[in-house]
Structure formats: C-alpha cells, structure tokens
Amino acid sequence: MSKSLNHLLQDTRIWQGHKPQQRAAPAEHTGYQALDNQLGGLGWPKGALSECLLDRCGIGELHLVLPLMQAVARQQKSMFWLNPPHTPYAPALVRAGVPAEQLVVIHTRNPADFLWTLENCLRSPVTGLVMAWPRKLASRDIRRLQLASEAGNNVCILFRCRQQAEQHSPAALRLELVPGDHQDLKIHILKRRGSWPGQRCTLALGHRAGIAPNGAPQVVAGPWPQAGAT
C-alpha cells in the first residue's frame, strides 16, 4: 500500500464499512459512561458538528450537555448559546459549576444573521462550546458550518427538530432524543463518524424528580420572572 493511500485511510473523516475507526478523533467525553461506550469511548467530537434531534425542548437535552459545559468551564473557554428557546437559569448553572461570565447568549433576527453569527462563534479562538437552535438549515449551510467548526476545533451542538432526521447532514454525530420515564432520556445514535450507527442507550439525567438535595430546582430553562415581579 502506498504511503499516500495509507495516510488517507488514517483520516478519521474517511468511513470504512468493514471495520470501526481505529484512530481516535479529538472529542470531549459526554460525562455519561453508557453514552461514551456507545460512541466508541469518545464523546462529543471536536472540530465537527453534532446534532441533537428532538420533538420539543425541555426533555433533558440541557442536562445531557451539562457535563460538557462543566468541562469547557474548567478549560476557561467561552460557551455561546445562539437563539435558545428559553432564558438560561444562571443560578442553577453556577451551582452546577458553570460560571455565568463564561456564557454568552445571542439572539439573531433572521436566518442570514444566524448563520453569520454561528460561523464566527465557531471560528473564534476563545470558543469552547457553541449550542445553537436553528429553525431550518439547508445542507449547504451545514457544510459551511462544518468548515467553520473544523477551523475553530471546538464542540458545536445543533438542537434541531426530530423531523430533520431524514435530511442528509454532514454532521459527524447525530443523536435522536426521546423522553423516557422517571426523568430518563432515550438516545438513538443515527450517525457517528468512523463506525456504524444504530446504537441505543437510556440515561438517567440528574435527580429523579429534577430537584437537588437542598430542594432547589435544577432546571436550566425559562423564561424566568424578573426580580421583584409577582
């Protein structure tokens, strides 16, 4: 085998149907061993897009990424929330070890502004994590974002409608999220770079009732009333 062909086959972006990828791609652990095991011991890919596909928000998707946010906080990197459906609850995030000063929440007015902002967040050297809630993305837009993610070498998670599961996507990781019983989250791996998809697991997210031992809510969603409001 020529050296050039051997080098090409070592590229983690090349899918080889006869065997799982042997070379580990850069990734951040999910914080859930059961899910990491289904992802080849890796986790959220760096320098690539990940998609979480769900029917509605508030089913535990933020608890799913909370360990990732904690890891990014320890790295002293910024976390961008682009067009989140609700206001992040800063006190709960701070209690969980995610400092508010490392969070940047951005709302855009139109799809063009969304793409421009997301692309620049991905390319920024201060970025550790980008979470975005797009309304609709064309395949060409996702390819454009993939290039920006590769340039920034950070983690990007797109929360998209579950109906988009049938759309072709160059994202390295695609997870279908379905709420289970007792605060569980069922995860179906639709695509993962370097190996076969189809794996499933169920995660117990946070406490059974979503309440911390001291009785404080753990939900990181909103909207939340302003101080002094009745």
SS3 per-residue string spanning the chain: CCHHHHHHHCCCCCCCCCCCCCCCCCEECCCCHHHHHHCCCCCEECCEEEEEEECCCCCCHHHHHHHHHHHHHHCCCEEEEECCCCCCCHHHHHHCCCCHHHEEEECCCCHHHHHHHHHHHHHCCCEEEEEECCCCCCHHHHHHHHHHHHHHCCEEEEEEEHHHHHCCCCCCEEEEEEECCCCEEEEEEEEECCCCCCCEEEEECCCCCCECCCCCECCCCCCCCCCCCC
Per-residue pLDDT of the chain (230 residues; tens, 9 = 90+): 556 655 544 554 554 544 444 445 688 999 999 999 998 888 999 999 999 999 998 899 999 999 999 999 999 999 999 999 988 888 889 999 999 999 999 999 999 999 999 999 999 999 999 999 998 888 889 889 999 999 999 999 999 999 888 888 889 999 999 998 877 899 999 998 877 878 999 998 754 323 333 333 444 444 444 434 33
Q: Taking the domain 26-204, which CATH number applies?
A: 3.40.50.300
The pTM score is: 0.80
CA dist., res. 211 & res. 216, Å (int): 6
Give the pLDDT score at 5.
53
Q: What is the domain partition of the chain in residue ranges?
A: 26-204
CB 44 within 8 A of CB 69: no
Q: Tokens representing 55?
A: 């029917």
> Judging by beta carbons within 10 Å of its beta carbon (0-12, 13-18, 19+), is residue 134 exposed, middle or buried?
buried
CA dist., res. 227 & res. 230, Å (int): 9
Residue 225 CB: number of other CB atoms within 10 A? 8
Give the pLDDT score at 116.
95
Close Cβ partners of 25 (under 8 Å, ≥ 6 residues apart): 12, 42, 45, 46, 48, 172, 193, 194
Give the pLDDT score at 90.
87
Give the pLDDT score at 2.
59
Q: Tokens representing 12?
A: 């983690």
| 74 CB-side CA count, 13 A | 8
